[in-house]
Amino acid sequence: MAFHRTIRTLVPALALIGIAGLAAPARAAAPRHDFAIPRITEPCRVDGVLDEAFWKRADVLDGFRTDANPGRIPHAETGVRVAYDRTTLYVAFICEEPGIKAGMTGGSLLGDSCEFTLFSRPETPYYSPYLQRLDYMNANEAVRTMRRFALTPANVKDEARVYKTGPHTHYITDKAWECPWESAVGFEAGRYTMEMAVPWEHIGGLPQPGHTFRLNFIRTRKTFDDETSCFNWYSGPNILARPFASASFVQEYPTIFATTRVEQDRMVLTRFTETVDPWKVVRTRPEYERVLTSRPVPNRATHFYLGLSDFVMPDHVRKRYDAEAWKREEKNMLDEMFLAGVNGPFLPGFMNRVGASGLDSLYREYGVRFNWHGGASAAEAKKQGATIIQPSGTVAFFDPVFVRLRNETITKWLDQHGKAPWLFDVRGQDEPFNQIATILQPGVHERVDRELREQYGVGLGVPVGVPNTPYQDQPVHDNSRVVPDHQTALSRIAAFRWLNKTYSEIVRDDYATVKRLAPHALYEAYNRNSVADLDFLDQSLIHPYTDYYSADPYPSFCIYVYGGARSKYHVGFTGKMVTDFAAGKPTQMIVQGCEMIQRLSTAENVREWASQAAKAGVTMIDWWGTPKVRFPDVYREMLRISRIWKTLPALDIPEKSELGVVFSDDSRAAAGDEGLHPHYSLHALLGEEIGAWFTFVSENHVRRGLHTLEGKKLLVAPELGYISKEFAADLTRRVEAGATLVVLDPDALTWDIETGSLAAERQTLLGLGECSKRSASEMRPTAAARTRLKIAKPLPLRPLRIAADSNNARTLTVPAGATVLFTYPDGAPAAFSRKLGKGEVIVFGAMPFQDSELAIAPDGWDSLFRALVDEKDIARDLPVWRFLFPVTGGEPTVFEPVVKAPRG
């Protein structure tokens, strides 16, 4: 058995060394996780001897752990040094090996090897509405470059191209790929050194300042021990790969790579470390029964989005079953779902198996109801003359022929089954805005550009795209790599207005058809793509044409794209925003209950996410994933929560809110804000941290009479650059009537795409003209802030998402009569307060929430908002924010597995 020292036994050993008189610290030094990689100009001789001066400047990437477990220290230490120049990436492994004697060669170390894997992609830090989100997890070679380089002590090289063919598929290691890289191995007593040099041109190109890429380092020892040690650390329930090496990972395994950020003259690598569940929320005073009311909730329902056969199963699972056993396992799952009160599988697929009479029988036996997805054949639409074709080659949702065929399909099916008691809802289109790259295609580009110029005086702002080329392979536009300028902002606003208007006209007719032929069934016009962020749908525009709204927040996607802070409350935040924008209509969240992006949802996770959805006011849950066979404890918890959810009464959510977070569709599009970090951070701080009930108040909803600013005592605006004059006037009136408006956006009230400049409104409301850009790391409270807000220490600011652009703040000219509350480190004003009528406007010179790190480590920002909430006498620490489903209750009926899983 391999011998491993552990951290627990290492500390006493160090103490004994100290007693013996050696210079040793009293306690073990904290391990480093950040390392510098120098950019070099000196020549490098690849010979296995690290005698060049630059190797001495490079940090040693040490702290390897067995199987990435931070508590298991390998028997033999490993260190890595990395450097680069404009043409080459240099990697050197320094491998301690106690068994090596003087004169030994690599041929004696059979089975030993070192490898590094690189994952790179071009950066689009700001949203491009024409390319959708650059989904590099599933993208083709033009976007994602993953390469693996392995070397043995005998200097035998092995390189591979690593790729995948689509979402939720295994990675494929292509060893036939060849790369002209150099290597050498040098030996001395007790250690050997591997030196590698890989040309950038074969691994995605030299990353530019502000970009990131990812690295993984692994060492395998076989001769003198049997262990795999890794540079990155992991210990917890959410990642299942063992050992922690590239061959063990499927789906998007770069989630565990070390992130490397490129600066002007160096790179900074940060070790991936995860020792606790990143989604675990510690609630010291959880509430359940106290939050429940006696009011029933119409249309409470749960549903499993996928059947047992629909989700990717590893080969080792499927091989345990023959066709008959698998059929019985699926039947058991259906019975378990129906007994738990879960809605039935999607139609028409399930209906094709059991027929209408089978659905009638299941409804009579279990009371189970079903969802129907209406659609149309893209092939048939092409045959009948469809001309608006997506880059992928399929017909776009707004092609008139496709629209007509789709409505004919809905009409025909509902004519037959629209009155059936088992029909719960009719579902519209799933994430149709994913097709936005279609507007780049020849013909469509010219049409949209012309219509935008006619209505808004601004075109698309980008050239026509490459015909018949998927969005991930389209050129990345320069305006996606920088902070959006004014013209780019206007183009994006116009493009999304066009897309939303087009879609609302389509669903208007579908809604009328459903209401005529199936008046008792719900109609869902749109499922919002919220896997990592939230798409750019204007919910107010389709409000008359839908019975409920749906979204699919998956924390695995979110943590992969934006990190742990942004993913912790991803379900709750999405649920809250979509429900507030539903303006009184029901909402549905599709909750992750499976392994995805190499991360597993635990039973505790799904309980937490369902709780976050419930306290946001969500009515329905769809579970994504069917973990019955692989993760039965997670599956059992999903069924248990489903039974409770089915009859869950309304939670004690305040009917009205005196606290509003202002949202503007135009401002969001203009800012290229895909991840909604500012709004997410305020959700976490105001709701989860402070416990005050707030609502997201939408400009477009106010303009259409679905929301109101009336009754709001405190309004917080994180993004307000491009709004209408009408909404600017509404905000001004509300402040003059006594509200406090906190403006976190120093570029607020810049332009109205319908009427032009908002300079006059900006001066009236904020007392500001134009502000020049600057950088800042923090805001320091003045005596006025320390007295009024009880803020004693500086409030940190976050850098822009583009590391190469340091201008994250604005220089403020304080209007007469205003009070400076915060200054920048150089003493310049950073935030001020000014009276306006009976109310107050507090203007900040920097928006602090460029990412979501302050959402879970607020470092004083929570104290600021707590003080402002208390000033307005708004209730906080409400029990509903601590709502959590109990660990027991509602236990479901679950049958024994048809095929027993092997032990271990």
User: Could you give the percent of the chain with pLDDT greater than 90?
Assistant: 74
Range with top average pLDDT, 100-114, 317-331, 465-479, 702-716 = 702-716
Mean pLDDT of 882-887: 98
Residue 420 half-sphere exposure toward CB, CA atoms < 13 A: 28
Does residue 679 carry a pLDDT above 70? yes
Query: Predicted confidence band at 166 (pLDDT cuts at 50, 70, 90)?
Result: low
Residue 71 phi, psi dihedral angles, 5° rounding: -95, 0
Distance between CA atoms of residues 148 and 128, nearest Å: 30
Instruction: Please write the tens of the pLDDT for every residue from 751-800.
Output: 999 999 999 999 999 999 999 999 999 999 999 999 999 999 999 999 88
Query: Predicted confidence band at 250 (pLDDT cuts at 50, 70, 90)?
Result: low
3-state secondary structure at position 253: helix
Query: Predicted confidence band at 735 (pLDDT cuts at 50, 70, 90)?
Result: very high
- Asked whether the beta carbons of 194 and 92 are under 8 A apart, the reply is yes
- pLDDT of 136: 43
- pLDDT of 108: 81
Distance between CA atoms of residues 726 and 755, nearest Å: 10
- Cis, bond preceding 243 (omega within 30 deg of 0): yes
Looking at per-residue confidence, does 811 or 440 come out higher?
Answer: 811
Q: Among 815, 839, 824, which residue's Cα sits nearest to residue 794?
A: 824
Query: Predicted confidence band at 474 (pLDDT cuts at 50, 70, 90)?
Result: confident
Does residue 683 carry a pLDDT above 70? yes
Does residue 2 carry a pLDDT above 60? no
Q: Which two tokens stand for residue 148?
A: 């693996």
Mean pLDDT of 614-619: 98
Does residue 623 carry a pLDDT above 50? yes
- Asked whether the beta carbons of 239 and 598 are under 8 A apart, the reply is yes
Per DSSP, the residues of 296-324 read --TT-EEEESS-TTTS---HHHHTT--HH
Mean pLDDT of 481-495: 91
Mean pLDDT over all residues of the chain?
90
Mean pLDDT of 444-459: 96
- pLDDT of 25: 39
Query: Predicted confidence band at 663 (pLDDT cuts at 50, 70, 90)?
Result: very high
Which of 55-69, 160-174, 699-713 is predicted with the least confidence, judged by mean pLDDT? Answer: 160-174
- Asked whether the beta carbons of 275 and 233 are under 8 A apart, the reply is yes
Looking at per-residue confidence, does 130 or 246 come out higher?
Answer: 130
User: In this structure, which long-range contacts are made by residues 512-519, counting pairs with CB atoms below 8 Å and at least 24 apart in sequence?
Assistant: 513/407, 513/410, 513/411, 513/414, 514/410, 514/414, 514/418, 514/426, 517/411, 517/414, 517/415, 517/418, 518/414, 518/418, 518/419, 518/423, 518/426
Does residue 456 carry a pLDDT above 90? yes
Mean pLDDT of 732-741: 98
Which of 296-300, 417-421, 803-807 is predicted with the least confidence, judged by mean pLDDT? Answer: 803-807
Does residue 334 carry a pLDDT above 70? yes
Query: Predicted confidence band at 99 (pLDDT cuts at 50, 70, 90)?
Result: confident
Query: Predicted confidence band at 107 (pLDDT cuts at 50, 70, 90)?
Result: confident
Q: How far is CA 459 from the centre of its chain?
A: 30
- pLDDT of 123: 53
- pLDDT of 472: 65
Query: Predicted confidence band at 14 (pLDDT cuts at 50, 70, 90)?
Result: very low
Q: Is 168 left (phi over 0), alpha (psi -120 to 50) or beta?
A: left
In the numeric block, the tokens 């149709």 are attached to: 432
Query: Predicted confidence band at 10 (pLDDT cuts at 50, 70, 90)?
Result: very low
- pLDDT of 769: 95
Query: Predicted confidence band at 253 (pLDDT cuts at 50, 70, 90)?
Result: low
Instruction: Please write the tens of the pLDDT for every residue from 544-584.
Output: 999 999 999 999 989 988 889 999 999 999 999 999 999 99
- pLDDT of 306: 80
Query: Predicted confidence band at 672 (pLDDT cuts at 50, 70, 90)?
Result: confident
- pLDDT of 244: 67
Q: Which two tokens stand for residue 88?
A: 């080459």
In the numeric block, the tokens 């470059």 are attached to: 145
Per DSSP, the residues of 421-467 read TTEEEEEEEESGGGGGGGGGSTTHHHHHHHHHHHHHS----S----T
- pLDDT of 339: 96
Mean pLDDT of 806-831: 97
Q: Is 159 exposed, middle or buried (0-12, 13-18, 19+ CB in 10 A)?
A: buried
Does residue 22 carry a pLDDT above 50? no
Q: Among 864, 524, 812, which residue's Cα sits nearest to residue 685?
A: 864
User: Could you give the percent of the chain with pLDDT greater than 70?
Assistant: 91
Distance between CA atoms of residues 831 and 854, nearest Å: 18
Helices (H), 251-398: 315-318, 323-339, 349-366, 378-383
